[in-house]
Amino acid sequence: MICAVIARSTAATATNPPPQIVDVFVGGQEGYNTFRIPSIVQIAQGRLLAFAEGRTSGDDNGSNDLVMKMSDDLGNTWTALRVVDDQPGRSLNNPCVVEVRKGAHAGRIIVMYQSYPTGCGEGCVEVGYEGAKICRTFVKYSDDRGTTWSTAADVTTSVKRPTIATSVATGPGVGIQLRRGAHAGRLVIPFNQGPAGAWTCYGVYSDDGGDTWKCGDVAANSKDGVGNEVQMAERIDGTLVMNSRRFAKEPRRKIATSSDGGVTWTALTADDELPDPSCMAGFIVLTDPLDGFAKSRMIFTGPDSTTARENGCAWLSYDGGATWPVKQQIYAGAFAYSVPATLDRNKFGVLFERDGYKRISLAIVDFAWFCGGKDEMSMTKDPN
C-alpha cells in the first residue's frame, strides 16, 4: 500500500515509537568549538561512519579538521572522535563519503573533501591549480572499515576545471555507486563549482574503484533557478537524479537527470513538492529491489520551510523522486544540513545539524511510525 501524506500529529505507539535523537558531534566537546557539515554511510557489514568538519570557530574557512566517529549498534552509541585529516594552515570542508560495494577495491570506503587556505573561502580562492589561493580537493580511503586511513591524495586537477571555477565543493553528504546499465559499478561524487560566473552542479566519476576521476558536464541553470550544494540517487531504470539546493530564485529544490551515468545532465528545474530555504539537504535510495525489497523507495530530508532552516522533515517517494506522497516531521526545531542513511529493515537514520549548529545528531526513525503503519519494508527474497 502506498502511504498518503501523514499528518505531524501521527500518534506513536509502543511498537512504533517516534524518532530517537542521539547526539554524535557536540560543539564545545572533544577539542572543537563547533561541528558542521555532516556525512554518514552504513557500510556493508552494518557499521555506521559519520563525518563532519571539526571547527575551532564557527567560521566556514577557519582551522577546520576532517573528523569522524563510528557506531556498531545502528547509531545508538558512538566511538570517541577521531581526526581523519588535519592540514596546518588549511581549512578542510565538505566531506562526502561512498563505499565501493562491487568491482575494483570492493569494501573500500572513500571520503572526498576540499582544502582552502585558512581564512580564504569561496570569495577569495582563485582559478587554476597553482598558487597560494587555490581550493584543492583531496581523497582518503580505508580498507579496514574506517579503522585506518590512507595518506591524503590531491585530486584537484581531475575534479576542478582549470578556468571559470574558483571554488568547488563535494556534496556535501554522500556519493553513490551505480548498480544498473552500462555504467554499473561507477562511483559518482556530486559536485558544484563557482562562484566565478555562476554556481553550477555536476558529477565527478570513477570507473576503476576510485583510482582515477573524471569531471562530467555541468547541469545548466534555468529560469527555475540556480543550484549549488547537491546530492544524487539512482532510479530503478538506471537514470541518475540530481537534487540541488536552491541558490537563487524560487525557494524550491532544483532537479536534473542523467541517462549516461552522470556525464551529461538535463537543465535544472524546480520540484514544486520540495521547499528549500537555501539549505543543503539529504537524498538517498532507501530500498532497492536489487536487495530483495518489494518496491523502490527514495528518502529526501530537509527543512519544511521556504524561509528558515527549521522544521526538519523526511519525504518518501515510490517513483524515483517524481512525486513525494509521504511527509513526516523528524525534528521541530532548528534543522539545517542533513544526510539520511539506511539502518535496518525497520529503521532509517537522519544525521542533522540542530539548535543553531550547536550539535550534529542522529534521528533513528522507525519506518512504521514514519509511514503511519501503512507501509512496511517487506522483502520478496532473502538478499543473502
Q: How confident is the model at residue 381 (pLDDT cuts 50, 70, 90)?
A: low
Q: Is the pLDDT of residue 11 over 60?
A: no
pTM of the model: 0.95
Higher local confidence (pLDDT), 30 or 384: 30
CA dihedral 130, 176, 185, 109 (to 10 degrees): 70
**Residues 139/187, Cβ–Cβ less than 8 Å:** no
Kindly state the average pLDDT of the residues 31-48.
Answer: 97
* Residue 10, in any domain of the structure: no
Between 44-48, 145-149, 376-380, the lowest mean confidence (pLDDT) is in 376-380
* Residue-level pLDDT at 198: 84
Q: What is the pLDDT of residues 192-239, one digit of tens each?
A: 999 876 899 999 999 999 999 999 999 999 888 899 999 999 999 999
* Residue 378, in any domain of the structure: no
- Euclidean distance between CA atoms 227 and 248, whole angstroms: 7
C-alpha cell at 348: 532509517
* Residue 297, in any domain of the structure: yes
- Euclidean distance between CA atoms 312 and 271, whole angstroms: 18
* Residue-level pLDDT at 380: 72
Identify the domain containing residue 311 by its residue range: 20-370
Q: How confident is the model at residue 4 (pLDDT cuts 50, 70, 90)?
A: very low
C-alpha cell at 336: 539545517
* Residue-level pLDDT at 1: 33
* Residue 51, in any domain of the structure: yes
CA 326 from chain center: how many Å? 20
* Domain count of the fold of the chain: 1
Kindly state the average pLDDT of the residues 245-272.
Answer: 95
* Residue 110, in any domain of the structure: yes
* Residue 196, in any domain of the structure: yes
* Residue-level pLDDT at 46: 96
Q: What is the pLDDT of residues 101-141, one digit of tens each?
A: 999 999 999 999 999 999 999 999 999 999 999 999 999 99
Kindly state the average pLDDT of the residues 334-338.
Answer: 98
Contacts of 211 (CB under 8 A, 6+ apart): 104, 105
What amino acid occupies position 95?
Answer: P
Task: Write the CATH number for 96.
Answer: 2.120.10.10
* Residue-level pLDDT at 12: 57
Q: What is the pLDDT of residues 297-324, one digit of tens each?
A: 999 999 999 999 999 999 999 999 999 9
* Residue 309, in any domain of the structure: yes
Q: Is the pLDDT of residue 352 over 80?
A: yes
Q: Is the pLDDT of residue 2 over 50?
A: no
* Residue 356, in any domain of the structure: yes
**Residues 24/81, Cβ–Cβ less than 8 Å:** no
